[in-house]
Amino acid sequence: MIYLDNAATSWPKPPCVARAMVDFLNNTGANPGRGGHRLAIRAGQSVYRARETVARMFITPDPLRVVFGYNITEALNLCLQGNLLPGDHVITGSMEHNSMMRPLRQLQKEGVELSIVSCDKCGRLKAEDLEAHIRPNTKMVALNHASNIVGTIMPIREIGSICRKYGIIFLVDAAQTAGSIPINMERDMIDLLAFTGHKSLLGPTGTGGVIIGECVNVKNMRPLLRGGTGSNSEYDEQPDYLPDAMESGTINGVGLAGLTAGINWILHEGLNKIRNHEIRLTQQLIDGLLDIPRCVVYGTLNAREQTAVVSFNIQGMESSEVGLRLDEEYDILCRIGLHCAPMAHMTIGTFPEGTVRFGISYFNTEDDIIRAIEAVAGLSRETI
């Protein structure tokens, strides 16, 4: 079996991830921050190590500004709903995932003004086009770091500089880049960095969160949930300090143990080594698909300008049929359809049909890519 659905969830994970989770369950298991006994303390220490590890991964100085949740969708909702009010203006791009667009559309109904900057057919966004949309009431720029469909990487450092110039909050959705492309919150001038654990960070599902930068006034940010935090239990109002202000309920301690292991594995292996491997395989795949008659490949066609995600179609064959036959006849697992990003497909010209998407990881090999190209070529020959 060849697994090429890593843009949805990475698999396999490094063995240390499962070991860390089993160790937590067998030897810790208690509720972090909810008691003074040794196991509760050990659980709390494990969660704090996760904060430190995430902070080290994204070059941010204060681990206590790492807020955990269950996925990046929750994190984006926290950032958007927690900061935007009726009358505020927010700018986004036309390659966004529904995890960004659906909360924005709801906020728009509630009186938040929304501008969408058009990207080109390859998914590229120009910083100067975004800057042209800034108004006196612009409060936030909310943008993905890379498209989940064609992988196109956005110029976040340039946009971060623009946001700092105007005093605008910069929210980055790093679902597709965290763990595969270097991110430095300070250098890139990111105020809110939303991440998920189960993709390139190599952790389990049910993990994610947001890093809240120093420029964001937490006292002006509304929690998505309120409830038990294990702190300030003598008061029936939510704490106003991080991370407690934004984290209510029992945290996913076992999942965060796995996430810590996944990130430490990446840091030990080397992010540049991982990135270079993925660039090589991605370009190999792009070039191979371009040589196939009736195979249309979308995006920049340059692996250095994108993540390890390649979308394509075979003319004369539905993407759903391609995906099914790749699975059943060639033992290749991939993703088909609209990938929860209809506006992005409108941008690249593949709506409403969608595309076939291959998502490569560090654990894929050149032989995997050769077999994938041969499989697509075999299906393509049937349409001639």
The answer to whether 333 and 364 are in contact (CB under 8 A) is: no
User: How far apart are alpha carbons 332 and 328 in whole angstroms?
Assistant: 8
| Contact yes or no for 56/297 (Cβ under 8 A) | no
> What residues pair up with 211 in beta bridges, in sequence order?
66, 193
The answer to whether the CB of 311 falls within 8 A of the CB of 298 is: yes
Q: How many CA atoms lie within 13 A of 76 on its CB side?
A: 24
Question: Does residue 122 carry a catalytic annotation?
Answer: no
Structural contact between residues 343 and 92, judged by C-beta atoms closer than 8 angstroms: no
Full 3-state SS string of 138-184:
EEEEEEECECCCCCEECCHHHHHHHHHHHCCEEEEECCCCCCCCCCC
User: Alpha-carbon dihedral of residues 165, 170, 176, 179, nearest 10 degrees?
Assistant: 80
What's the order of all strands across the beta sheet hosting 192-196?
A: 66-69, 208-212, 192-196, 169-173, 138-144, 89-93, 113-117
Element (H, E) at 299: none
Q: Identify residue 198 by its one-letter amino acid code.
A: H
- The answer to whether the Cα torsion of 259, 260, 261, 263 is positive or negative is positive
Cα 247 to Cα 70: distance, rounded to the nearest angstrom: 11
Token pair in block for residue 202: 């190599």
Q: How many CA atoms lie within 13 A of 143 on its CB side?
A: 34
Catalytic choice (215, 295, 334, 340): 340
Q: Are 226 and 248 in contact (CB under 8 A)?
A: yes
Torsion sign over Cα 216, 217, 223, 224: negative
User: Could you count the other beta carbons within 10 Å of the beta carbon of residue 330?
Assistant: 17
Known catalytic residues are 340
